[in-house]
Chains A and B, each alone.
Chain A
């Protein structure tokens, strides 16, 4: 791009090192994940930090990837929804979303799964109010949230060792 600063980026994503060339300095981490690295699981519903659909871990902290400049992720550790579990080894949070019927269009789902994963890592058995507070930054337009609350409770029980 004419007159634009181009950088090379080194970072770890889902445990793997990545080197990304030709990154324009203005690109968000979300853009790099989705458009340069083939990791579209983090979604682009608002790109203003309002909807939580691009929720990821950056050095263990829950952040919106759309609000992080790609350059800020240099030498850092990123975990996306793709890093939590794949189709053959679903994470209990992913399994619980399916079982509870918490997925409709699914555009909010990856962000909600990462946010729920983060909640359950610090509160293994959250109350309904704690779930609501923790997920208040994740918009869903399809479900009315009822089944998402069910899913997070169910995931907590699954992770504690129970099957249901």
Chain B
């Protein structure tokens, strides 16, 4: 079993306001591992995911997609499909009622393609039928004549002069240059490297799905699994040609997200079909369709040069990063900004020359995935740090600690790191953790060897390696974006007991934000009974469930709304118990005078009335990056984590076994320690996947492995036990001192694992995922 070592808080969160009941935690309040309210329906099968929805008279939607990565559409003939009994609608671009394109940052993606398709799987025609099999057969009867064109599949070639432009503005989506210090700096010791990361799939288990129900008056209700309903709403209403009040979105059960639900998938299509047929329509992608239905993690090519003194102080970092954005922009402009901002790693580097590029190609569109641009560069800069340590003859952890960023350090963008930056402390923590035994104890257990129960080795030819990685990224939205979340909190009495109702639009995607909201309300208002209403667009935006931001942003909004409610309740009794509201707190359903030790029953004070407050929580303003120098305070906060990996490699077969992962992470404040561990374990598993197995394989613009048979994600046999040190150093800028938790583990786990594989094998392993052939001298790995 794993050993979880949870370190006690090493400092108190500085600058956070005093909290009612923090000294004596409310039952299931902040800091407890309260159970999730959706847990019981999830274990009994009653929880309604977006793919479980059903309505009387419901039709099934289906999508006809391009088989070509790049082609001109010559003609579309839907007549045979329409003639099929049981088919109620066959719609094309001509039927899009409003804006014909959509997109998160640039509306460059057609709702349904008209003159050309830019990637394999692009939607061209949609169908509604009485049975999913009828819809599938109708799809077969749609005749689309294409004129195939040579796809542009290399992002560097896409940026060359003379290459066909895939979009009117050319193939460069964004270039982010960052220049700091002396551009001509020289160093005693120089190491260079070229690194590549490949396309990773979020592989959430709940497929894209939802139910659209027409309201009979031209409007529509959509029940859907998504990450940010309000940004869906704007795109959806625009393309449906409706005002936003006529489109209502309610969050259906979400079967995981990891970035893949930031962009629209079936939302507009499903609503178009429902409005056209005036019947409820359900759409549900198959696993294969899901690989075409959402964006993926950008593949990256990265050229690095690190210069250092003989003593091991970094002098400069030069980096050129090229991301493959695929056919449409999605969130590429923000992903490349992250890649550039964090390209030098969590280190003090006086001189930097960084260029991040993202290009349009005819590959599948890429966008958000857990780690968001930080993952790719962390693999590169940590590989470089190991290479530099080797060149210097230094211990790789000592080299990292020598150059570690601290509070007050500056990023290449010139931004000063204001909050805790415990890079040294994280590395020291994992280095001090006990190592697993050199060989498995007890009787022969094949699952502990590379190759597992395939019985390829009992230890012969197996060598062990140890590797380290440390990484960081920004929390919440950056570059001047006005990032906020809205919470409405109401306190009233029912059946003699006070009840708190919390309403936000925060998307619960599995991470536990509903539980967090309940814990905060319990702690701030001292009330046991808390109800979190379903997330929908009838309350203000909560922003996206992404960028590790919901606990700080929506948690912050809920806390502030609760404090506003508390102030109003306490105002009501000022003069009764005491004249000083600061002497009063709420705890256990009572109003407590701390100095007098007297209490009032909260329910009696509330009486027949209710107290309701809405709070919009904005984070500190950030600035854009200077377009030429990349200078600017673009980010609000940073989260850090470090991993140590122990891996075994069968050097004869190239098979690997990740034996153990140890990690330390500063989470600021663990609102729910069990959920924090769950985020760290799950994020580490996704990082393991990218290191050794996960790759959407693309040939000439076509996905070769759109299934869980061929796209491998870690199973329970692949994921090793973990040791976890959760640090709670408290961010000065956030409520309770919280920092985001979800992304960092997916950033630092990957380079640690690859470093351990290098340590075991002596191979360069500059491209991930690492393949068996990469360990074998007599086989060429072929491409790239």
Q: Closest approach, in angstroms, between the C-beta of A87 and any C-beta of chain B?
A: 5
**Which of A43, A109, A142, A145 contacts B43 (CB under 8 A)?**
A109
Asked if residues A48 and B707 are in contact (CB atoms below 8 Å), the reply is yes
Asked if residues A110 and B722 are in contact (CB atoms below 8 Å), the reply is no
Enumerate chain A residues within 8 angstroms of B38, measured Cβ to Cβ. 106
Which residue of chain A has the shortest Cβ distance to B710 in the bound complex?
Answer: A50
Alpha-carbon gap, A101 to B1, bound state (A): 15
Alpha-carbon gap, A27 to B255, bound state (A): 23
- Is the CB of A160 closer than 8 A to any CB of chain B? no
Asked if residues B677 and A26 are in contact (CB atoms below 8 Å), the reply is no
Asked if residues A1 and B43 are in contact (CB atoms below 8 Å), the reply is no
Q: Closest approach, in angstroms, between the C-beta of B670 and any C-beta of chain A?
A: 13
Asked if residues B33 and A101 are in contact (CB atoms below 8 Å), the reply is yes
Q: Which chain B residues numbered 233 to 271 have a C-beta less than 8 Å away from chain A?
A: 253-258
Alpha-carbon gap, A85 to B41, bound state (A): 11
Given contacts A24-B131, A146-B721, A149-B716, contact A98 B447 (CB under 8 A): no
Asked if residues B205 and A105 are in contact (CB atoms below 8 Å), the reply is yes
- Is the CB of A40 closer than 8 A to any CB of chain B? yes
Q: Closest approach, in angstroms, between the C-beta of A134 and any C-beta of chain B?
A: 9
Given contacts A41-B44, A138-B716, contact A150 B681 (CB under 8 A): no
Alpha-carbon gap, A36 to B147, bound state (A): 42
Asked if residues A90 and B708 are in contact (CB atoms below 8 Å), the reply is no
**Which of B43, B133, B284, B678 contacts A101 (CB under 8 A)?**
B678
Q: Which chain A residues numbered 88 to 117 have a C-beta less than 8 Å away from chain B?
A: 90, 94-95, 97-99, 101, 103-110, 113
Alpha-carbon gap, A90 to B133, bound state (A): 36
- Is the CB of A19 closer than 8 A to any CB of chain B? no
Task: Mark contacts of A6-20 with chain B using CB atoms, 8 A cut-off: 1 yes-contact digit, 0 otherwise.
Answer: 000000000000000
Q: Closest approach, in angstroms, between the C-beta of B223 and any C-beta of chain A?
A: 14
Asked if residues A90 and B719 are in contact (CB atoms below 8 Å), the reply is no
Asked if residues A101 and B134 are in contact (CB atoms below 8 Å), the reply is no
Given contacts A87-B46, A106-B510, A107-B206, contact A144 B85 (CB under 8 A): no
- Is the CB of A76 closer than 8 A to any CB of chain B? no
Alpha-carbon gap, A85 to B258, bound state (A): 30
Asked if residues A51 and B717 are in contact (CB atoms below 8 Å), the reply is no
Enumerate chain A residues within 8 angstroms of B86, measured Cβ to Cβ. 1-2
**Which of A2, A50, A53, A87 contacts B40 (CB under 8 A)?**
A87
Q: Closest approach, in angstroms, between the C-beta of A91 and any C-beta of chain B?
A: 8
Alpha-carbon gap, A52 to B569, bound state (A): 51
Q: Which chain A residues numbered 136 to 158 have a C-beta less than 8 Å away from chain B?
A: 136-150, 153
Which residue of chain B has the shortest Cβ distance to A93 in the bound complex?
Answer: B43
Which residue of chain A has the shortest Cβ distance to B4 in the bound complex?
Answer: A146
- Is the CB of A163 closer than 8 A to any CB of chain B? no
Alpha-carbon gap, A39 to B222, bound state (A): 22
Enumerate chain B residues within 8 angstroms of A67, measured Cβ to Cβ. none
Q: Closest approach, in angstroms, between the C-beta of B260 and any C-beta of chain A?
A: 10
Enumerate chain B residues within 8 angstroms of A138, measured Cβ to Cβ. 715-716
**Size of interface on A: residues with Cβ below 8 Å to B:** 66
Alpha-carbon gap, A107 to B209, bound state (A): 13
Alpha-carbon gap, A4 to B136, bound state (A): 13
Asked if residues B681 and A147 are in contact (CB atoms below 8 Å), the reply is yes
Q: Closest approach, in angstroms, between the C-beta of B265 and any C-beta of chain A?
A: 16
Tell which of B47-55, B95-103, B313-321 binds the partner: B47-55
Alpha-carbon gap, A97 to B38, bound state (A): 12
- Is the CB of A161 closer than 8 A to any CB of chain B? no
Q: Which chain B residues numbered 20 to 66 have a C-beta less than 8 Å away from chain A?
A: 33, 35-36, 38-49, 51-52, 54
Max chain A C-beta neighbours (<10 A), residue from B42, B445, B674, B719: B42
Alpha-carbon gap, A97 to B719, bound state (A): 18
Q: Closest approach, in angstroms, between the C-beta of A120 and any C-beta of chain B?
A: 15
Enumerate chain B residues within 8 angstroms of A109, measured Cβ to Cβ. 42-43
**Which of A98, A99, A136, A142 contacts B678 (CB under 8 A)?**
A142
Enumerate chain A residues within 8 angstroms of B682, measured Cβ to Cβ. 104, 141-144
**Which of B2, B133, B253, B287 contacts A146 (CB under 8 A)?**
B2
**Which of A42, A50, A135 contacts B45 (CB under 8 A)?**
A42
- Is the CB of B203 closer than 8 A to any CB of chain A? yes
- Is the CB of B341 closer than 8 A to any CB of chain A? no
Q: Closest approach, in angstroms, between the C-beta of B136 and any C-beta of chain A?
A: 10
Asked if residues A101 and B677 are in contact (CB atoms below 8 Å), the reply is yes
Asked if residues A46 and B287 are in contact (CB atoms below 8 Å), the reply is yes
Asked if residues B52 and A98 are in contact (CB atoms below 8 Å), the reply is no
Alpha-carbon gap, A145 to B447, bound state (A): 15
Asked if residues A45 and B709 are in contact (CB atoms below 8 Å), the reply is no
Max chain B C-beta neighbours (<10 A), residue from A86, A128, A138, A140: A140
Q: Which chain B residues numbered 674 to 690 have a C-beta less than 8 Å away from chain A?
A: 674-675, 677-678, 680-686
- Further 4 A-B residue pairs, CB within 8 A, beyond A39-B45, A143-B682: A47-B286, A81-B44, A98-B36, A141-B713
The 7 closest A-B pairs by CB, nearest first: A41-B45, A105-B510, A106-B42, A144-B681, A107-B255, A144-B685, A40-B52
Q: What are 16 A-B residue pairs whose CB atoms fall within 8 Å in the complex?
A: A1-B86, A1-B131, A2-B84, A35-B54, A48-B707, A97-B43, A105-B205, A140-B716, A141-B713, A142-B682, A144-B678, A144-B680, A146-B721, A147-B677, A147-B681, A148-B716
